[in-house]
Amino acid sequence: MSNAAAPAGTKLGVDVGLARVGLAGSDPGGILATPIRTLKRDAKKNSDIRVLVREATERSAVQVFVGLPRTMKGGESASTRMAREYADLLAQALADAGLAVPVNLIDERLTTVSAHRTLHSAGMSSREHRKVVDQVAAVEILQQALDMQRALGRDVGSPVAVPDSVRRGAAALEEETKIPHVHDSDGESRR
């Protein structure tokens, strides 16, 4: 867990599954999580990761929370390892795109079970759940993180480390794309 202040701005929540990835987003104030979309999981080409990077860019996201499905006793499982690997890939892809958007893993025990209950209570048939359950789980992951950040007054979750070489490369790319200062005839600096 991080003791740093939580970044202010729009945040994304991600629920990773074998077949689908749910995505949710917050308002810029970081108060309310809402569903965005469900992506088809593409473990070979990672097209879903590219869509997430595009969503982070378009929404000016300041942080991404990836759900970490621990066992009820807090242990690790194949799903936990898959979520960690996915978070690593996402953090790497964001850095490669020149985005300084931190990715944090957040405990998500029972969010999918809770999402199914929520959809059932809303009168949706079990057959229809599949289309949106990942989005609802992503909303629950993100809302939990937002609520914890507000209650604790600091950032939450476990940050996903991006190798320093990637971070340096992203900083260099950002520096290269800045508009240089131009001095006019009066010696004034302008861009």
User: How many CB atoms lie under 10 A from the CB of residue 104?
Assistant: 22
Task: Tell me the per-residue pLDDT of 16-29, one tens digit each, with 9 for 90 and over.
Answer: 988 999 999 999 99
pTM: 0.76
For residue 2, give Cα distances in angstroms to 6, 45, 53, 102, 174.
9, 32, 23, 12, 26
pLDDT greater at residue 4 or residue 64: 64
Lowest mean pLDDT among 1-10, 79-88, 165-174: 165-174
pLDDT at 188 > cutoff 50: no
Question: Residue 127: which pLDDT band, with cuts at 50, 70 and 90?
Answer: low
Q: In this predicted structure, what is the pLDDT of residue 166? A: 46
pLDDT at 151: 92
Parallel, antiparallel or unpaired: strands 20-26 and 182-183: unpaired
3-state secondary structure of 119: helix
Tell me which CATH code domain 11-162 carries. 3.30.420.140
The confidence score (pLDDT) of residue 167 equals 46
Per-residue pLDDT at 110 exceeds 70? no
Q: What is the pLDDT of residue 72?
A: 63
Tell me which H or E stretch contains 24: strand 20-26
Residue type, 145: A
Give helix 111-121 / helix 126-152 axis angle, nearest 10°.
Answer: 120
